[in-house]
Structure 1
Amino acid sequence: TPKIFVHHCILLNAPLISSLWHSSVIGVLDCGGVEFEDGEEVYDAIGGLLQGSSADCKNEDDIRDICQQMFNTLKLSNGHAASKQVLLDAPVRLSQISLFLFVSFTTVDARKLEKAEAKLKQKQGRRNERDSQKTTNPLVLEEASASQASSKKDSRVDLSGKNRSYDIRIENFDVSFGERSLLQGAELSLSTGRRYGLIGRNGLGKTTLLKMLASRSLRVPAHITILHVEQEVAGDDTGALQSVLESDTVREGLLTEERLLNARIANGTAEGMETVRLSEIYAKLEEIEADKAPARASIILCGLGFSPKMQTQTTKEFSGGWRMRLALARALFAKPDLLLLDEPTNMLDVRAILWLENYLQTWQTTILVVSHDRNFLNAVVTDIIHLHSQRLESYRGDYENFVKTKEDRLKNQQREYEAQFQYREHIQVFIDRFRYNANRAAQVQSKLKLLEKLFPDNFEKLSPPVLQLDEVEFYYNTDQRLFTQLSVSADLESRICIVGENGAGKSTMLKLLMGELTPVNGIRHAHRNLKIGYFSQHHVDQLDLNVCSIELLLNKFPGRNEEEYRHQLGGYGITGELATRPVASLSGGQKSRVAFAQMTMPCPNFYILDEPTNHLDMETIEALAKALNKFKGGVVLVSHDERLIRMVCRELWVCEHGNVRRVEGGFDEYRDILQEQFRKEGYL
């Protein structure tokens, strides 16, 4: 029960917390009871009580962790005899905020308590209504919406055209996704010429915010052009290069008008004013350097990996990934006033990412990019916008500066607390604990701490090599030989990262290693006790989107009880109501977490991972790297994420020219090789 749970928390972690706080928290938990859907609802209920009088408390993440653990324990204790053991073995870490609790909870804000109880009752009513709707149409997906406070004066200025500034300032706006509020009373300021990185945990609304801006659901001045690189280019008979050129609508319009006027002049039907107009068009085309446009478009395409031959191919000949690159190329060529990029590095190999970093560093207009690639953010952005707790906070500088600034703020707050309470010698132990945990919290901590424990390694050691390709030749057709005399091997000690340009055969080599593809010539050898876990870069294709995550695991691994499936999903952050939603309604990052839960459930002793970081937030990527380093089995991964490669990789293999070669100098040497190629080819 909540009472027993809180009692154990206090005994194990914070014996000096007041009994008044104890009874208040029990009251709120009893109000919600087992009806809490996830840790966020627990946080909504008692987070304010935990934060107490420190409204700007920077230990918010720890408080959220505690609420999540409270939710997990309440779920486990609902009808299970083993709950008492769970309480004693896995106490909530209230000691991390014990200093706040001791001082802040000597009195309780009754209004907060009433507000929390009212909020829970409202949520229960909405949940009952939603459950009744699910019985008739369980797969209706929610839609995003935005609202914004505005004045008639602002609207008149915008419509009059007097506001010609290219800065964007949106004040006091809300963004929701269905019934879930993502942003409340938020403010967003974007100065022209600056490059902003939008960061935050998966599922908080970063992609939704971009969509609200692109659709102008949030008011952006009408004269500011916006391009959102979200969907791939439609496949038709247009050539790749021509598709990029057509993205510059001004140039295309002038060229079309020029052709029409020249035709009328040739036919003798042109009027005098049309000749004057033709002269104006020529002057405008010269001003925008229209003759240089094909060369500029070709450079962009080359930088993104399109060979000269590929630039002549029609768009319908390309796969979805290459059409996404075309969409990015069109946006870069068109140079909008506001460029919105959502995980642009997901579709690119390391070479193309490096080129894009260099290209965007000289970008003249405004960029807002969602990315979980730490190195990309450090190379490109001038500002960080942090989405958390339904608000946006801005920081000058790159991602590393953002981390340092947050760390400095936390240290300053720690010093303030130490100065304020230094005379209370009897709680020095709590101050010491706070100091230790504050230093840890200052780093980029994983919100999936359990992930580090979810790569089980209680398996027997296998004599090497456990996986080997010997003199392998492979091709899909005789005109396109991907590999000739490919020889590679891996064992349970391996931490191998494979890089190379898209189309070089990285994913094909992984499938050869797994045995999904059979070599034309050569031999694949695998230890008889080898058990491979595979994560595909197209992992969503492996998921049944029409069922919830629990049903997905049930169908894949039948015969276990619901709590086992919930526990497996919970370790990857898919908790409470998230686990019962249709997979189709989850964010990209949440779907990736479901795929990880599915992959690790049978306890493999070797992992083959193809672009595992796509859609994962930085905290989850950090947790994944730590988990892979602790895992006692073998790992072969294809990745473009520089930080993951540096954290995990012991061997770097480059896939190119029908073979694989080891780069002794690791990622630094590979990066230097690419930079030199760019200089020689004139792409920088």
Structure 2
Amino acid sequence: MASCSDILRSEFPELDGEVFAYVTGILHSSGADFESVDELVEAVGELLQEVSRDGKDERAIREVCQRLFNCLQGPHHSPPHPLTDASTDLLPGLLLKRGQTSMVNAKKLEKAEAKLKAKQDKRMERDSVKSSGPPVLEEATASQAASKKETRMESSGKNKSYDVRIENFDVSFGERVLLAGADLNLAFGRRYGLVGRNGLGKTTLLKMIASRSLRIPSHISILHVEQEVAGDETPALQSVLECDTIRESLLREEKELTAKVNAGRGEGTEGARLSEIYAKLEEIEADKAPARASVILAGLGFNAKMQQQTTKEFSGGWRMRLALARALFARPDLLLLDEPTNMLDVRAILWLENYLQTWQSTILVVSHDRNFLNTVATDIIHLHSQRLDTYRGDFENFMKTKEERLKNQQREYEAQQQYREHIQVFIDRFRYNANRASQVQSKLKLLEKLPELKPVDKESEVMMKFPDGFEKFSPPILQLDEVDFCYDPSHYIFRSLSVSADLESRICVVGENGAGKSTMLKILMGELAPVRGIRHAHRNLKIGYFSQHHVDQLDLNISAVELLARKFPGKTEEEYRHQLGSYGVSGELAVRPVASLSGGQKSRVAFAQMTMSCPNFYILDEPTNHLDMETIEALAKALNKFRGGIILVSHDECFIRLVCHELWVCENATVTRIEGGFDQYRDILKEQFRKEGFL
């Protein structure tokens, strides 16, 4: 039987060394993993078709791949080609003869190699754990074409620019392509907002950048605020200060040298070195670092006492704030933020908006908060259709420009279609007229030369509907009367709390983290019993509750359909799918493991589960976290159409304005109703900032 090398030489006699080495490398290193000829066609078919000098069509290429596949499956599978090895990194041009030019696009070849390597690494990792534990979830991979110029500058140390340019790259999640042939350009000192629908790959893109799976010059420091700070004995303020590794190293060395000198164990050089250390400490203003760290922590809600508490004493939400404080203090060249407002209350969001406006280096932030993006972003990057489009200006400017761009695109497409039809009418009319033959040929060539414009690919509208479990019953519907509550008798969360709501209520609860917002919701639902006072709820009241930690309540190892079937048995799969589809979880999303869904998609599953029993009153704790802007708008519309009562906790200003008619402020162990709504609350916070010196 002919070997794979023989088949390639026979079918492609003019195949250059580079491509031959690459294809045989794939066949010999990954041949055993091809389960079908389709996989082999996907791996090398496009490349072989491109280099085919005799213009083989897809069918012919598939026949060649079938022969290669049969060869790989046979008992006489030949050993690896001497020029290739699975562990060898094949660089474009490595095997070309002097003066020879490659028959394929070098960048395409590099990307193909990167994809192959990522696939092999993923397979090795999967195989290593296959025998121990549950199946491994799909992972993200990235590949890109290298710029030889940038590679040379990087290796020579001449690249001093802090701009980030990532060109012609792909990002995939398992078998799903998120970005294809995309370009990302981040100019140093600008603040970019990354927006797009849930599940398209915004968070994945940040992770690829942070892990340097996409090439970033090594001299550019990157910080990705993703994981909460580990809990240990380190005080919060010291945890932030330790981010400045240069300052910490100098202080440590100064302490060691001073101890040597005081103990008389010096070698005579300590004095000179100490002078150098003091000069460097003065240069980096080390003495001002504790004050700067304290200001950042205070802005994010840590009072003086909390700043001295150990990190292990804080909850997960506060440790995430601590991670954000460390990143802000460290001042990296590229700061990556993924939904930073999710962990913050309104007061901390206002402080962060103000702080980031004076940020000196580059920011790339994923956010669903319109007001935050309008205040912070200098540019918007829109992720859609597997590509990235960049717009100058804030979010509102992006929306206007995008809308205008889409209108122009549609107008150009329609105008061209009319022009094409006009020419085609002429061609059809005079196709068989000998006197007009030259004109017909001219028109045909004109049609061929016209650029192929495409109609606007409009994103589908997000729809949500909260079913009415509505029946009229007289108030009071839900009420707390003179309620006291505490977890610890030495510290009361509420004193003499009296609030009430009915089926027409649209109430938003705001206040600093730790003021008791979530605790009050649990008292209203009856999950927590008052120490003193009375909770009254109408006997026909049916409450639907959305927790800010809703993901913790979902079984991540099963699909969304299975989740509903276990929670509400006795219905058909079609009914479960219909319920999930009402919240945008349709098709294959409904049968994928919940763990593989994005944060926003998990939230939609939680909404579908919450509304299945048709409640007549909703209590929602941070319902907009992880949702994209289109889904937030759809959620607001659904709540406005819902005929029942609503109490929600939120920090999203736009969402609050769309839904709520009342504003309750949780502070000083009670709840106060603000007549002026969100505008008055914002003014109160700004006045506090002025008094505290933040503005």
Short-chain TM bin: 0.7 to 0.9
Find the counterpart in structure 2 of residue 569 from structure 1.
580
Go from structure 1 to structure 2 and tell me whether the alpha carbon gap of 1:152 and 1:413 turns closer, same or farther (over 3 Å shift): closer
5 Å-filtered alignment, 1:108-507, equals: 139-416=135-412, 447-449=461-463, 451=464, 454-457=465-468, 459-507=470-518
User: What's the counterpart of residue 62 of structure 2?
Assistant: none
CA contact (8 A) 1:446 1:619 kept: no
Q: Which amino acid aligns with 1:149?
A: A
Is 1:558 aligned to residue 569 of structure 2? yes
Q: Secondary structure at the match of 1:496?
A: strand
State whether residues 300 and 348 of structure 2, in contact with CA within 8 Å, keep that contact through their aligned partners in structure 1.
Answer: yes
Q: Superposition pairs for residues 490-569 of structure 1, below 5 Å?
A: 490-569=501-580
Gaps of 5+ in 2: 1-125, 423-455
Opposite residue 269 of structure 1, the aligned amino acid is R
CA distance in 2, matches of 1:156, 1:270: 46
Partners in 1 of 2:162 and 2:168 — Cα distance? Answer: 20
Q: 2:692 aligns with which of 667, 674, 681?
A: 681
Residue aligned with 1:184, SS: strand
Deviation at 1:159, TM superposition (A): 2.4
Q: Is the 8 A contact 1:198 1:384 kept in 2?
A: yes
After superposition, the Cα gap between the structure-2 partners of 1:553 and 1:222, relative to the gap in structure 1 and judged at 3 Å, is same
Q: Are the counterparts in 1 of residues 622 and 651 from structure 2 also a CA contact under 8 Å?
A: yes
**Which amino acid counterpart does residue 554 of structure 2 have in structure 1?**
L
Mark the CA change 1:456 to 1:338 in structure 2 (over 3 Å): closer, same or farther: same
Aligned with 1:598 (options 609, 614, 618): 609
Give, in angstroms, the shift of residue 273 of structure 1: 4.0
- Assess if the C-alpha contact under 8 Å between 1:167 and 1:192 holds in 2: yes
With over 3 angstroms needed to count, the CA separation of the structure-2 counterparts of 1:167 and 1:600, relative to structure 1, is same
Q: Distance in 1 between matches of 2:130 and 2:580?
A: 22
Asked if 1:663 corresponds to 2:677, the answer is no
Q: Which amino acid is the alignment partner of residue 541 of structure 1?
A: D
Cα distance, 1:575 vs. partner? 1.4
Task: Tell me the percent identity.
Answer: 79
Q: What is the rounded CA distance, in whole Å, between the counterparts of 1:419 and 1:321 in structure 2?
A: 54
Contact 1:446-1:623 within 8 A present in 2 as well: no
Rg larger in structure: 2
Over 3 Å counting, the alpha-carbon distance change for 1:187 and 1:263 in structure 2 is same
Q: Which residue pairs with 1:92 in the alignment? A: none
The answer to whether the 8 Å contact 1:139/1:582 transfers is no
Shift of 1:272: 4.3
- Preserved CA contact (<8 Å) 2:150 2:159: no
1:613 and 2:627 equivalent?
Answer: no
Deviations 1:544-575 (A, max 9, x none): 11211111100100000000001111121211
After superposition, residues 633-652 of structure 1 pair within 5 angstroms as 633-652=644-663
The structure-2 alpha-carbon separation of the partners of 1:623 and 1:458, relative to structure 1 and needing over 3 Å to count, comes to same
Work out the CA distance in 2 between the residues paired with 1:186 and 1:515.
51
Equivalent-residue separation in structure 2 for 1:470 and 1:369 (angstroms): 43
CA drift at 1:157: 1.3
- The one-letter amino acid paired with 1:495 is R
In 1, Cα distance between equivalents of 2:296 and 2:307: 11
Amino acid at match of 2:566: N
CA distance in 2, matches of 1:291, 1:135: 54
Distance in 2 (CA, whole Å) between partners of 1:495 and 1:135 is 53
Unaligned runs of 5+ in 1: 1-129, 426-440
Do the aligned partners of 1:167 and 1:191 also contact (CA within 8 Å) in 2? yes
Query: Which stretch has the larger CA shift, 146-155 or 505-514?
Result: 146-155
What residue in structure 2 maps to residue 48 of structure 1? none
Structure 1's 390 and 422: CA in aligned 2 closer, same or farther, altered over 3 A? closer
Question: What SS class does the counterpart of residue 353 from structure 2 fall into?
Answer: helix
Q: Is the 8 A contact 1:459 1:605 kept in 2?
A: yes
**Cα distance in 2 for residues equivalent to 1:174 and 1:209:** 10
**Alpha-carbon distance in 2 for matches of 1:445, 1:499:** 33
CA–CA distance in structure 1, aligned partners of residues 249 and 157 of structure 2 = 23
* Deviation of the 1:644 alpha carbon: 0.4
Q: How many residues align?
A: 534
Q: Structure 1's 176 and 413: CA in aligned 2 closer, same or farther, altered over 3 A?
A: closer
CA root-mean-square deviation: 2.2
* One-letter identity of the residue aligned with 2:647: V
**Cα deviation, residue 651, structure 1:** 0.2
State the alpha-carbon separation in 2 of the partners of residues 155 and 458 from structure 1.
Answer: 63
Aligned partners of 1:631 and 1:311: how far apart in 2?
44
CA distance in 2: counterparts of 1:353 and 1:145, whole angstroms: 33
State the distance in 1 between where 2:330 and 2:477 align. 51
CA contact (8 A) 1:383 1:397 kept: yes
Q: Distance in 2 between matches of 1:335 and 1:136?
A: 41
Q: Residues 360-396 of structure 1: CA distance to partner in whole angstroms, max 9, x if unpaired? A: 0100000000111111111101000011111111000
- CA drift of 1:446 comes to 7.3
Q: Which amino acid counterpart does residue 322 of structure 2 have in structure 1?
A: L
Q: Secondary structure at the match of 2:595?
A: helix
Structure 1 residue 148: Cα displacement:
1.2
Native 8 Å contact 2:469 2:615 kept in 1? no
Structure 1 residue 263, shift from structure 2 partner: 1.9
For residue 357 of structure 1, give the secondary structure of its aligned residue in structure 2: helix
Change (3 A) 1:414 1:389: closer
Q: CA deviation at 1:278?
A: 1.7
Distance in 2 between residues matched to 1:537 and 1:445, nearest whole Å? 28
Which residue is 1:60 aligned to? none
Contact 1:204 1:388 in 2 (8 A): yes
Match of 2:635 in 1: 624
Q: Which residue identity is paired with 2:211?
A: S
Report if aligned partners of 1:229, 1:331 keep a CA contact under 8 Å in 2: yes
CA apart distance, 1:461: 1.5
- C-alpha contact (below 8 Å) 1:448/1:571 kept by paired residues: no
CA contact (8 A) 1:343 1:615 kept: yes
Counterpart CA distance in 2 for 1:545 and 1:419 is 50
8 Å CA contact 1:342–1:370 kept in 2: the answer is: yes
Instruction: Name the amino acid aligned to 1:143.
Output: E
CA distance in 2, matches of 1:572, 1:597: 6
Assess, with a 3 A threshold, how the Cα gap between structure 1 residues 572 and 364 changes in structure 2: closer, same or farther.
same
Cα gap change, 1:447 to 1:277, in 2 (>3 Å) = farther
